[in-house]
Every structure is written in structure tokens, then in C-alpha cells.
Structure 1
Amino acid sequence: MQKDALPALRGERIEKLDPRFLTTLRDHVHRTLRAAILSGRFGANERVNERQLADQLGVSTTPIKEALRQLETEGLVEALPRRGVLIRFNSGWAEEMILARAALESMIAHLAAKRISKTEADTLEAIVVQMKTATAAGSPDELIALNETFHDQIHVSSRCAYLARMIERQQFYDASIRRVIHSDPQERDKALSEHAAIAAAIISGNSDKAERVMRDHVVRSGETYLKIVFEKNEDI
């Protein structure tokens, strides 16, 4: 991945919030800041300024303070006396999140292969067909949406409400990172091949294979994420 393929990560770190989200402002501020941290837009041990964040997001400092407190409970930031709020997310933390997500997604795929209905199998197969079309067209935004739809459908088919809730804490991409990844033709082709293999294993009821290919996919895409965000080349 070329370093100059990251223009989206070099400008404003955070975009202003859509006014439609003001009814749940605290949650949206939290998600926006969390995504920015997990996308590497803040360096490890970097001090963040509440007023600057408020100005960037176009909000008061109150939801910023609330969001930072929530992020501190997640371990992503730390508030220190006389030093302010420091970013604690780093490549080591990211590796752990990737491995945790790989474990959860692979088990969900395992159970989906055992529990998927005929209707759900047809839906999953149709999503892969859409992915093939979007891959051929080189449409990153459509692929981002289809990727989420693909994994959501597997979650539905698995009947794993508990595991699906757990996995929300292991989401480490945001749209800008996904767009960089899917802008690479080789990455698009790899992702399509892996998604097709996952779907085929689940639809055929091969739970062990579904578990294995899902884990391999999450780990490999995670390595791509690490290279983009942290320029880290070691394997997980």
C-alpha cells in the first residue's frame, strides 16, 4: 500500500457532526472520537485538547468530556493530573483487537454454517454476487457497505446475539480506512476471494472450514490495517 494513498487521513482529523445526530449527541461524539483514535489519527501518548476537539466537531465541551470519560473506561485514553487526556491506543492494542475479532467472527461463522436457513443462504449468496459486481466496477463505497451487509448477514444466520454484541467492541476500522483498503485493486480481489470462500463454506454447512477461512480473512485484513495505520509489517 502506497503511503501517498492516504490523502483522506492527512487533512482534518474529524469531520463536523451531521445536525441530524444532535438528539443522541453524546453517543455520536463518542463513536466519532473512537473511530478517529482507532484509525490512527492520533498518535500513542498524544495529548488531546478538549476545546480543539469541540471546535472541530462543532459542539460544546460537555459531550467531549463525556465521550472522553467513556473512552477512558475502554482504555483508549487516560486522564492524568496536570497532563490532560493522553491517547493510549497503539499497535499492540490494535493487534489484540484484531485477534479478538478474528476469534469472535470465526466462531460466529462456525455457528452460521450449522444454523443458516435456505432463505438466509440465498441472501448471503446474492450479497457475494453484488460484491463481484462492485469489485469489477472498482467501487470502494459500495464495497464498504456490502462488506458490512455480508458480516451482518452472517451474524443473523448464526443466531449469536451475545457474540454479535461482544464484537461491537472489536470494530477497529472506519470508513476512511476501509476506503483506502478498497481503493487498492489487489486488496479488492483478495477480499472478494475470501468473502466468496467464507460464504461457500457457510452455505455448504462446513462449519470447520467456515471458522478457518473467516479467521484467516480477519487476520489478513487486520495486517493490512496495521500497515496502513502504523506502517507495521510484522505478521500477527
Structure 2
Amino acid sequence: MPVAETILAPLDPQAFSGLREHVHRALRQAILAGGYEAGARLNERSIAEQLGVSTTPVKEALRLLEADGLVRTRPRSGVIVNFDFACAEEMILARAAIESTIARLAAQRIAASEKPGLGAILDEMRRATHGGEAEEVIRLNEVFHDHIRSVARANYLRLLNDRQDVYDSDARRIIHSDPAERERALAEHEAIGQAIIARDAEAAEVAMKAHVLRAGETYLDLVFRKYKD
């Protein structure tokens, strides 16, 4: 059984008010970024020492991760990482289905007063992409998707989508480090945004699904390549 060796950065002591959530987020991001190989055993004490916390919030966070399906508890073996290529692929497929439905609803529900805001985000994304501003592209990517979720007014779907989001800032940074990838993403975002502005629900749904699936394939290759080589 592989032993988990990922190094976790200590948490900011000011964040201790919501300690369980912060530990959960730190571990979740490490797992989704491929920091722990599937089957690796997570040592509560080691994790607590790396994060600079007690084992209590770590235990609580691991229970949340088990509910997420990212780890499982084995008798006499402890907590084992359950995230592998198949799990990531399923999460991406689920996210594609949810995000595409949200895009459809956004196209149906967008108000005339909300259209300029979405258009302005696309203008900023175009400027940042053509200017080679990778960090700004990453930020605007999140702004763009968040704006669509807000326009859709689909709170239940938004909660479901949050559970299927395999990307953290590090994963997005790796993906968008390639200028060609940034250009592809821009073209896809423009197709999604223009379909929503035009209130073309079918086109918005199709474009969003294709975008999420293609980006997901890139993520799978980047995260799991080291285990396939």
C-alpha cells in the first residue's frame, strides 16, 4: 500500500474559527491535484503536524472527505485515498451535465440588464488572453463561470456543482500555462457567453458541455500522467 508523502503548508492561525472547513479544503485540494496517489493511507497525526493543528479537525475533515467520496475507511488500515482516474472522470462528467444545464437556464433567465455585464467579462477575458496575462485569465475564468451561475439563479444546481469541481487554483494554473490552451478556452467561453446573451438555450448548453469535457480531458492528462508513465 503506497504511503502518502504530499507536504501540506501550515494553515493561517487566523483561519482557526472555521478550522474543520479549512482542513477539509486543504486536504481536498491536495487530493484533487493528484498530491496523493489512490490507495495511499492518510496519517492523521502527520497531517495535523504539517497543517499546524490538532488531530480533532483533521478527523472531522476526513469524515467530510469520506462523504465526498474522496477517501474511505478500511478496518485495520485507516483512511485511504479513494480518488483515482475513474473517480475524477466521473466527477468531470457530472460537472459537464450540471454546468451545461446551468448554462441553459442562464440563457433562459438572463435579464436584459445583465447582458452587458457578461459581455464586459468576455471583453476582459479577450484582453487578458491576447496579452498573455495567465494569472488574470485564471481569475476571469472563475468570474465568468460564477457570473453564469448567478444569472441562472439555480442555487440547488450550484450546490451540486461545487461537489464536482475537481479544479483548484494550482490545477487551473497548470492548464492555463499553455498559451494555446488559453486561446482554446477563450473561444469556448465566447461561444458560451454569446449563446447566453442571445438567449439561445440549446447552443449555450451544448457549448458549455463541450468546454467542460475538453478541459476535463486536459486535467486528467496533467494530474494522472505521472501515474501512467
TM-score tier by shorter-chain length is: over 0.9
- From 3, 15, 24, the equivalent of 1:21 is 15
What residue is the counterpart of 1:151 in the other structure?
A: 145
Q: How does the TM-score come out when normalised to structure 1?
A: 0.90
Give the residue type in structure 2 aligned to 1:134.
Answer: A
Residue 223 of structure 2 is aligned to residue 229 of structure 1: yes
Question: CA shift at 1:119, angstroms?
Answer: 2.2
What residue is the counterpart of 2:200 in the other structure?
A: 206
Residue 73 of structure 2 is aligned to residue 79 of structure 1: yes
CA contact (8 A) 2:6 2:35 kept: no
* SS of residue matched to 2:83: coil
Residue 133 of structure 2 is aligned to residue 139 of structure 1: yes
Question: CA shift at 1:19, angstroms?
Answer: 2.7
Question: CA shift at 1:13, angstroms?
Answer: 3.7
2:99 & 2:69 partners in 1: Cα distance? 22
Range with greater deviation from structure 2 (31-40 or 72-81): 72-81
Q: Deviations over 1:79-116 (max 9, x none)?
A: 22221211011110111100100000001101111110
Q: Deviations over 1:176-217 (max 9, x none)?
A: 111111111011001111001100000011110000000000
2:189 & 2:17 partners in 1: Cα distance? 36
What residue is the counterpart of 2:102 in the other structure?
A: 108
Question: CA shift at 1:12, angstroms?
Answer: 6.0
CA contact (8 A) 2:6 2:36 kept: no
2:178 & 2:6 partners in 1: Cα distance? 23
CA RMSD, aligned part only? Answer: 1.5
Specify every segment of 5 or more residues in structure 2 that has no aligned partner in the other structure, as ranges. none
Give the residue type in structure 2 aligned to 1:115.
Answer: R
CA contact (8 A) 1:48 1:87 kept: yes
2:6 & 2:76 partners in 1: Cα distance? 27
CA contact (8 A) 2:41 2:81 kept: yes
* SS of residue matched to 2:73: strand
Structure 1 stretches of 4+ moved >4 Å: none
Distance 1:19-1:136 versus aligned 2 partners, 3 A rule: farther
What residue is the counterpart of 2:214 in the other structure?
A: 220
Range with greater deviation from structure 2 (116-125 or 197-206): 116-125
Give the residue type in structure 2 aligned to 1:170.
Answer: Q
1:71 & 1:134 partners in 2: Cα distance? 35
CA contact (8 A) 1:116 1:203 kept: yes
2:215 & 2:29 partners in 1: Cα distance? 17
1:20 & 1:231 partners in 2: Cα distance? 36
Distance 1:141-1:14 versus aligned 2 partners, 3 A rule: farther
1:89 & 1:218 partners in 2: Cα distance? 19
**What is the percentage of aligned positions where both structures have the same residue?**
54
Q: Deviations over 1:34-73 (max 9, x none)?
A: 1111111100001111111112211111111110111112
Specify every segment of 5 or more residues in structure 1 that has no aligned partner in the other structure, as ranges. 1-10
